Amino acid sequence: MEQLEEEQEAQLLPKKYAEHQAVKEQLAAREEKLAEGAGAICKLYCIPRNAEQCVEIQVREGSRQVRWDWVGPNFGKVGCKYISICRSLVTPGEFYCVPYDAAHVLLVNIDEDTITEVGEKVSSDLVTKYATAASSYDWNGRIYAAPFLAQRVLQIDPYTGTVGEVGPRLVKSEQGEWWVTIASPITLKIYAIPWDARHVMEIDPVRGGATRKVGPDLGPTPGKYCSAIVAGDGSIFAPPYNARKILRIDGTGNVSLVPPDLGVGPRKYCCMCQGANRLLYAPPLYADQVLEISTSGKGNRLIGPAIGNGEAKYACAALGPDDKIYCAPLEAHRVLLIIPEDHEVEEIGVDLGKEEEKYSCIAPAPVGPMMYAAPRNARFLLEVDTKRCFVREVGKDLGPVKRKFTAILTGKPPEAPALVRSGTAPQKGAGASWSPPSSRSKQRTPPQDQKAVEPRSLMGVLRLCASNSMLTKSKPFKCKTARQRTMLSPMSPARPR
């Protein structure tokens, strides 16, 4: 008897599986249909390091579905292509990636949704040529990249799309010279922050990319700094990687080291983000705590609890739509949340495991509360819901390739709906013109030959009010008190409460 029941159940299994799959497909189709009306599609772009192509992330506000596609030119499997992004200040919507091991500069145009290689071939040698670039604040708006293992400064002209090397030929070094390139909005110069070099290098865009070394001798320490940011007062700050102190370049171009002395420990900090309170925050890589930097150079301190247990914890940070800073984990287990307003630090979301080098770049979506981290060694995109502090892996499997992406770019926000033109009938939800309280229940339609007046100015409001009063032929509404007259009159100035 039992054997017969088992045979019958075995015969029913394929039918049950088919029914289960059908229900699953129906639910997926329903969710997709609901997502179509949830909002416009927004995009983010993951720039390839060891991946073969760029990845375009497609998100829709109000939908839980996240899709991605391979886009742009195929760079093959060999070499580290690009590791950073630089925004053009003179051609809106254009972002440039200087070649790390690649042969061409990469242009991402978020307005036209295109990804192309531009300019002449820089070099076919698979060497670490350039790490980062900066757009100058002068009228030319050219982009410059200090050499890491290359011999000369790289210049990009966004107006013409030309790429070339400028300035004197530097001595070729087997060690990397300058990692970070950053522009000052005050001095209008470009500064290269030393990796193994002993001095900061200044690049002058006005003089065709002429270079000179500035500031004190920073010593022979290798891997001094690998990140920098322009603060709210225009000064440049770089947190120490292997160096002991913070590097500061003020509005006059003066280079100095500011406290505290963070010791000789290696690989302390490798990224930084500015909070809404104008203070700077660097999450720990091999350091124990978050570093908070004041633009005055005083009051720099470590905040929050000690994090992690010696592993490389965080290598990226970005300001979220809620004015809090989110850091995707490199080898830490959870997302790090920095609250600048309260100077507090905490870990949020699920435990993402012990996998090495999970994520090293994060960016907010163009609209909505979500943030996304592109996988480095992880296999899925990471989504952070800033409203609920909810973290999850999304999208299809991106494969086992190591160091896939180390840069992510927020795309163009969706366009706002067109405004109602003057002279057209008002749409539902578009607002209504003012009329006296006594006539709101019996408003009349204006004559067809009378033109509508759009209240774009005070005179427009006055004309509109007079027009409404004449059309409705209502008697003046008498108030009992001066307070009521003030509240009901559209022309009375607002009174402070």
Is there a single domain that holds both residue 99 and residue 72? no
- What integer pLDDT is reported at residue 383 of this predicted model? 97
Is there a single domain that holds both residue 353 and residue 246? no
- List the beta bridge partners of residue 444: none
Q: Mean pLDDT per segment of 10 residues, for the chain of length 497 residues? A: 61 66 64 55 95 94 87 90 96 95 95 94 80 95 94 94 89 82 97 96 93 95 96 96 97 95 95 96 97 88 88 95 97 96 95 93 94 97 95 95 96 68 39 35 39 43 46 41 37 36
- What integer pLDDT is reported at residue 425 of this predicted model? 40
DSSP state of 25: H
Q: How far apart are CA 189 and CA 429, in angstroms?
A: 50
Report pTM: 0.76
Is there a single domain that holds both residue 101 and residue 172? yes
Q: How far apart are CA 131 and CA 269, in angstroms?
A: 17
Q: String of b and e for 397-414 (b: at least 16 CB within 10 Å)?
A: ebeebebbbbbbbbbeee
- What integer pLDDT is reported at residue 77 of this predicted model? 87
- What integer pLDDT is reported at residue 424 of this predicted model? 39
Is there a single domain that holds both residue 153 and residue 195? yes
421 part of a folded domain: no
Domain termination site, one of 266, 293, 321: 266
Is there a single domain that holds both residue 66 and residue 107? no
235 part of a folded domain: yes
- What integer pLDDT is reported at residue 478 of this predicted model? 42
19 part of a folded domain: no
**Cβ proximity of 143 and 158 under 8 Å:** yes
Amino acid at 472: T
- What integer pLDDT is reported at residue 251 of this predicted model? 93
Is there a single domain that holds both residue 261 and residue 311? no
- What integer pLDDT is reported at residue 338 of this predicted model? 98
271 part of a folded domain: no
Amino acid at 258: V
- State the residue for tokens 């009349």: 444
Domains: count for the chain: 2
- What integer pLDDT is reported at residue 79 of this predicted model? 84
Q: How far apart are CA 2 and CA 25, in angstroms?
A: 34
Is there a single domain that holds both residue 93 and residue 68? no
Domain encompassing residue 74? 49-78+301-414
Is there a single domain that holds both residue 92 and residue 71? no
**Cβ proximity of 144 and 153 under 8 Å:** yes
Count how many residues are written for the chain.
497
202 part of a folded domain: yes
